[in-house]
Amino acid sequence: MNGGELIAEVLRKQGVRWLFTLCGGHISPILVESKRRGIRVVDVRHEVNAVFAADAVARLTGVPGVAAVTAGPGLTNTITAVKNAQMAQSPVVLLGGATATVLKGRGALQDIDQMALLRPHVKWAATVSKVKDLVSALEHAFRVATSGVPGPVFLECPVDLLYEEKMVRSLYSSKASVSGRKPTLGERALSTYLNFHTKRMFAGADSVQVHEAPEARVPAPARALVRRAAKQLRSAERPVLIIGSQALSIPGEVRALVNAVEDLGIPVFLSGMARGLLGKGHALQMRHGRRKALKKADLVLLAGVPCDFRLDYGLQIGRKAYYISANRSVVELFKNRRPQLPVHGDAGRFLQLLSRECPAPTGRWSTWIDELRAANDTRDADIREKGSKAAEQIAAKAAADGVSLVDPLDICGRLDEALADDSILVADGGDFVATASYIVSPRGPLSWLDPGAFGTLGVGAGFAMGAKLVRPDAEVWIVYGDGSVGYSLPEFDTFARHELPVIAVVGNDACWTQIAREQVEILGDDVGCPLARTDYHVAAEGFGGVGLKLTRSDEIAATFAKAKEHARGGKPVLINAHLGTTDFRKGSISM
């Protein structure tokens, strides 16, 4: 086998079903040989989206997602997505092309120090100088990506390791001499060196073996700590459980996790990838009032959630509360606030063990749950009232200006009504997406994808691509802001070419509203924030999709129905919803 075949065979043995890429001469053998082995090669329009798509696959399946990109600018284009995967603890394997081993540092095309660039943003990074080492290095990369705290890894694959030995020898021979005359002493010396280098580079490649994927090493919570947590929970009167993305690091155990949460009987708030874990309207789940609940709680259990800006760096937890945290990461376990009971281990498995140790008697915390439910329902009613008032204000202003606009709260409510039970929601934006997070309910486990703690814009198309490939029969919706859609709109070409019928809803208010809210009020200037009401639906049509323009509230339901119909017919759809402005999220900036 040549190097491209070896890499493709490792990918097959590791259970990889999709390889995301943007083609380049440095990586062509990997793409061709992967295709020959039944791995679907999905080519995108920007390398960052290849990594975002691989990230989504990893989150939804537990098998590392894989992207292969060409050298130099191909690799630099991935950095944002790689860093996002690192902060989201997502197991992604990035294969990077590189110049030939003998040309590194000599001014070759697209030759940069790729290792220095990637090392700070991955769990592990390595380059290979021998064909036979491609297998062991790549197998090690998969083990590292999934073990302990999951995360991205990088393997640099020089181009002369990927092609047939005969071709590489021929190429090097042509560089070492000039035809038509006797070689000089220097040329003979160079030829001798290149022959030696090639022989060393290919030595042992014929005998290398590719192994089956081993089971990932998952840090197990100590049983003694589980028993201590159970003891504290039994005596608690007002416990609160918060579950975050890391608790779903093992997608195959998500049903066991749901059962554990129900057996524990603790009122729960869900964040990140955990949104939708309990479905819509579960009796234990609260969507609103988390800050007040944490202040009143006498026991707080964070499962796969760090005390970062989303919890005011731990300040939301009352000082008198007994604080338990379960996390695979020791760093995140103690970030900003030290728990009375730190549990180093997989948060999902910790909850499963805890539920067996301490199942709640029926009605154990019914009074506390009723109190939180009342606050939650009051906030829901408040949102509906604000939505009604906002719709009236928007309609009045639009009529005065001679235009027609849609209320963002109204369209989010209608979207919630339109979602199928198997829907996956991809969140990519600021103000509009944050509004949707208050109103739209994910329908089940692993049905919500957002960037995570990095707050990255631009994940939409890549995440949706990966989600639609993993679950082809599901409705996949992207909720875009009109700022964020600009990052990945050309991927509608990818959706169309690869027959991935996703539906995108663009909240088009002609502004970077998340920023403008505070910037205008504090600094008195909207510089850099205004946008145009661009015809994003027309651009989507140009890329092979279906574009729908939405400007009237009485057309929302029909537009959603039309979008779903087109998607069932195999076409990707973009709905360009012209929004009016509201003060619903005033004062919501995060730092």
d(CA 336, CA 313): 6
CB 272 within 8 Å of CB 445: no
* Position 394 in a domain: no
Using DSSP's 3-state secondary structure scheme, residue 125 falls into strand
> Taking a C-beta distance cutoff of 8 angstroms, is the pair 447, 276 a contact?
yes
DSSP, res 497: H
- Residue 538 reports pLDDT greater than 70: yes
**What's the CA gap between 309 and 459, in Å, rounded?**
21
Cβ-defined contacts of 279-283 (< 8 Å, 24+): 279/443, 279/444, 280/441, 280/442, 280/443, 281/441, 283/369, 283/373
Q: What angle do CA 468, 426, 410 make, to 5 degrees?
A: 125
Does pLDDT of 389 surpass 80? Answer: no
- Model pLDDT for residues 98-126, shown as the tens digit of each residue: 988 887 888 887 888 999 999 999 999 99
Structure tokens at 41: 């090669």
The last residue of one of the domains, among 172, 207, 242, is: 207
**Of 430, 429, 438, 442, which Cα lies nearest the Cα of 475?**
442
pLDDT in tens, 160-185: 999 888 888 887 777 666 666 677 77
Instruction: Please tell me the total count of domains within the chain.
Output: 3
Token pair in block for residue 43: 């080519």
Q: Name the burial class of residue 279, with classes exposed (0-12), middle (13-18) and buried (19+) by CB atoms within 10 angstroms of its CB.
A: middle
Residues 31, 165 within the same domain:
yes
Structural domain of 551: 404-578
Q: Is residue 385 domain-resident?
A: no
Residue 567 lies in a domain: yes
Shared domain for 286 and 409, answered yes or no, is: no
The last residue of one of the domains, among 308, 341, 368, is 368
**Residue 504 pLDDT > 80:** yes
pTM of the full predicted structure? 0.94
Burial class (CB in 10 A: 0-12, 13-18, 19+), 1: middle
Provide the token pair at 345: 């281990």
Residue 291's closest CA among 312, 308, 305? 312
Give the CATH number of the domain where residue 95 resides.
3.40.50.970
The answer to whether residues 238 and 189 belong to one domain is no
Confidence of residue 264 (pLDDT cuts 50, 70, 90): very high
**Within-domain flag for 327:** yes
pLDDT at 177: 61
pLDDT digits (tens, 9 = 90+) for 6-57: 999 999 999 999 999 999 989 999 999 999 999 999 999 999 999 999 999 9
Residue 426 lies in a domain: yes
Are 348 and 447 members of one domain?
no
Q: Reply yes or no on whether the pLDDT at 587 is more than 70.
A: no
User: Residue 124 pairs with which residues in a beta bridge?
Assistant: 153
Query: How sure is the predictor about 192, in pLDDT bands with cuts at 50, 70 and 90?
Result: confident
CATH number for the domain that contains residue 253? 3.40.50.1220
Query: Does residue 388 fall inside a structural domain?
Result: no
Question: Mind listing the pLDDT tens digit for each residue in 313-370?
Answer: 999 999 999 999 999 999 999 999 999 999 999 999 999 999 999 988 777 899 999 9
Q: Are residues 311 and 342 in the same domain?
A: yes
CA–CA gap between residue 332 and residue 82 (Å, rounded): 19
What is the torsion angle, in degrees rounded to the nearest 10, for the CA atoms of residue 388, residue 391, residue 396 and residue 399? -150
Residue 397 pLDDT greater than 80, yes or no: no
